């Protein structure tokens, strides 16, 4: 299928733009580099689709030890200390927030979105940018249904995949704010029926080490059920079947390591967090999301698939036989309005079943990382990156949030992948903007689109001129793609696929 550029964008009126704060940017870059030791690779965490999220085996902590697991967990330092370490713009307004784009910049954003869609052969894409003052830019390009040639609209809903984890993590922290649970509570306190389950640990003492915090931080060691080939076969065999959490958990094998000793991305962690939220909150997970997060933030398009439905237009997810821009788009569908299909989406649950528009996702990023969705202490706990994941080349991870560089910009957020869909939510503290990109393809990292949009509203500084040939230090710096040479995150879902190379 040949994909041609098309895009529509909308933006608000402009206002004077402040000068770039180069010193702040350098400070953020240094802090980011220190936090991830050797560099940051994308937090492209995913659920059931051609996924690249998680770690092959596990990433060891600098000083492992099961007895120290609760104390060593990310975010365990006093909340005040964690908040003091946050970059400007996280939890409070940035020093120099980026103003909304004028008409010319809005057109440049629409053009950049169209070019990115064409370059990567994306059937359809929806993107939104939420600015510090609440102003929105919304753009879309391509089609939500290839066969019907239905154009993407601002109101078109896409599957979020693992970006759902930002909501689940925030819900747990909201319940903790209300004293309904503690982040260091053992999992078996809330789910006593699993006290003798070997998937939590091979001994009672080891099962006791699996806490709410280790689930949030991906340091529990629990096996990811989406890596199970038997489960994969069943999900494919009956796409309309609705899976319950207990049925999915039956496919979880023994842990990869003792909780707190290392880092490994697992959807099992967040499926369990959904169950814990229900016990602590006294209501079903989708009802808690709606009453505590979605409705207060006015995110009207968001909904938990299978448990809830929408009347809005939806996108159809697509697979491809190759990386060619003109490769045929193969739909993932069971004939219902569940994206991509019922079995895998119901299995994802609290780890990846939320869907909605890019506009509301960008607004959620602004609310969460801008400080209005959680208390300062809760946000500090969420954003307390301790570098555990970075040691092995994975993205630095907090509690349901990844920290990475997009271009030369420090961002926090999460990515997602659900068969035929890829998504990204990135908040840029220095600029005070939240960017959401939703696509109905699973070949390319949507952070490439995020970077293209950020380059429009915040152009990178010009590259220094190379020293004339023959002068000392004359060799010019090579041009490389973002995160080029970084260790890619392996598949954590089905069907596994290698991270596509830069085109």
Q: Classify strands 262-263 and 59-60 as parallel, antiparallel or unpaired.
A: antiparallel
pLDDT of residue 388: 64
Q: What is the pLDDT of residue 385?
A: 85
Q: What is the pTM of this model?
A: 0.80
Q: What's residue 395's pLDDT?
A: 56
CA distances from 223 to 99, 190, 251, 268, 399 (A): 44, 20, 9, 7, 18
In a domain, 413, yes or no: yes
The answer to whether residue 92 sits within a structural domain is yes
What pLDDT score does 491 carry? Answer: 31
pLDDT at 90: 77
- The answer to whether residue 473 is domain-embedded is no
What is the DSSP-derived secondary structure letter of residue 224?
A: P
Query: Which of 419, 400, 432 shows the shortest CA–CA distance to 493?
Result: 419
Domain count for the chain, please give it: 1
Question: Do 322 and 152 meet the contact criterion of CB atoms below 8 Å apart?
Answer: no
Average pLDDT over every residue of 126-155: 97
The pLDDT of residue 93: 73
Whether 366 is in a domain gets the answer yes
Question: pLDDT tens-digit profile of 291-350?
Answer: 999 999 999 999 999 999 999 999 999 999 999 999 999 999 999 999 999 999 999 999
Q: Residue 37's pLDDT is what?
A: 27
* Residue 289 belongs to domain with CATH number: 3.40.710.10
Segment 46-65 shows an average pLDDT of 35
Residue 478, in any domain of the structure: no
Q: 52: pLDDT confidence band, cut at 50, 70 and 90?
A: very low
Q: What is the pLDDT of residues 442-465, one digit of tens each?
A: 999 999 999 999 999 999 887 776
Residue 467 lies in a domain: no
pLDDT of residue 467: 52
pLDDT the model gives residue 318 = 97
Q: What pLDDT, on the 0 to 100 scale, is given for residue 125?
A: 98
What are the tens digits of pLDDT across the range 385-424? 877 665 544 458 999 999 998 998 999 999 999 999 999 9
- The single residue listed with the structure tokens 């409705």 is 295
Beta strand extents in 290-338 (DSSP E only): 303-304, 317-320, 329-332
Integer Cα distance of 402 and 389 in angstroms: 10
Range of the domain at 103: 8-13+24-64+76-457
∠ Cα 471 472 473 (to 5°): 110
pLDDT at 495 over 90: no
Residue 19 lies in a domain: no
> Does the structure show a pLDDT above 80 at 36?
no
Average pLDDT of 184-213? 96
Residue 71 lies in a domain: no
């Amino acid at each position: 299928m040949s994909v041609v550029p098309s895009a529509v964008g909308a933006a608000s009126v402009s206002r004077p733009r402040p000068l770039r704060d180069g010193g702040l940017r350098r400070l953020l870059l240094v802090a980011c580099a220190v936090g991830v030791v050797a560099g940051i690779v994308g937090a492209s965490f995913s659920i059931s689709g051609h996924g690249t999220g998680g770690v092959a085996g596990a990433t060891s902590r600098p000083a492992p030890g099961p007895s120290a697991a609760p104390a060593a967990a990310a975010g365990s330092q006093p909340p005040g200390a964690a908040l003091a370490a946050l970059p400007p713009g996280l939890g409070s307004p940035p020093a120099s927030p980026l103003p909304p784009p004028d008409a010319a910049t809005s057109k440049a954003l629409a053009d950049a979105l169209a070019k990115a869609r064409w370059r990567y052969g994306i059937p359809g894409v929806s993107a939104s940018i939420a600015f510090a003052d609440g102003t929105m830019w919304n753009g879309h390009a391509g089609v939500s249904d290839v066969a019907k040639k239905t154009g993407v609209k601002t109101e078109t809903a896409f599957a979020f995949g693992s970006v759902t984890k930002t909501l689940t993590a925030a819900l747990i922290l909201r319940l903790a704010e209300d004293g309904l649970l503690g982040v260091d509570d053992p999992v078996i306190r809330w789910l006593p029926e699993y006290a003798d389950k070997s998937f939590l640990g091979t001994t009672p003492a080891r099962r006791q080490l699996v806490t709410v915090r280790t689930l949030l931080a991906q340091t529990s060691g629990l096996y990811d059920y989406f890596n199970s080939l038997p489960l994969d076969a069943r999900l494919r065999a009956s796409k309309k079947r609705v899976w319950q959490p207990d049925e999915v958990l039956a496919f979880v094998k023994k842990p990869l390591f003792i909780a707190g000793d290392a880092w490994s991305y697992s959807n099992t962690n967040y499926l369990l967090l959904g169950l814990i939220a229900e016990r602590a909150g006294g209501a079903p997970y989708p009802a808690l999301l709606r009453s505590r997060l979605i409705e207060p933030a006015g995110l009207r398009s968001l909904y938990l698939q299978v448990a809830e439905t929408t009347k809005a237009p939806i996108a159809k997810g697509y697979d491809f036989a190759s990386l060619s821009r003109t490769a045929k788009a193969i739909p993932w569908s069971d004939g219902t309005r569940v994206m991509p299909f019922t079995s895998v989406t119901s299995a994802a649950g609290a780890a990846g079943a939320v869907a909605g528009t890019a506009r509301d996702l960008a607004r959620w990023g602004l609310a969460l990382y801008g400080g209005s969705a959680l208390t300062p202490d809760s946000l500090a706990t969420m954003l307390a990156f301790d570098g555990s994941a970075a040691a092995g080349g994975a993205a630095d991870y907090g509690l349901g949030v990844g920290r990475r560089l997009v271009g030369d910009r420090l961002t926090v957020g999460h990515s997602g992948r659900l068969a035929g869909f890829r998504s990204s939510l990135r908040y840029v503290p220095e600029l005070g903007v939240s960017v959401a990109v939703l696509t109905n393809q699973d070949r390319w990292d949507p952070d490439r689109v995020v970077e293209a949009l950020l380059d429009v509203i915040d152009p990178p500084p010009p590259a220094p001129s190379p020293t004339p040939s023959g002068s000392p230090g004359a060799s010019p710096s090579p041009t490389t793609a973002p995160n080029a040479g970084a260790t890619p995150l392996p598949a954590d879902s089905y069907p596994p696929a290698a991270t596509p190379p830069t085109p």
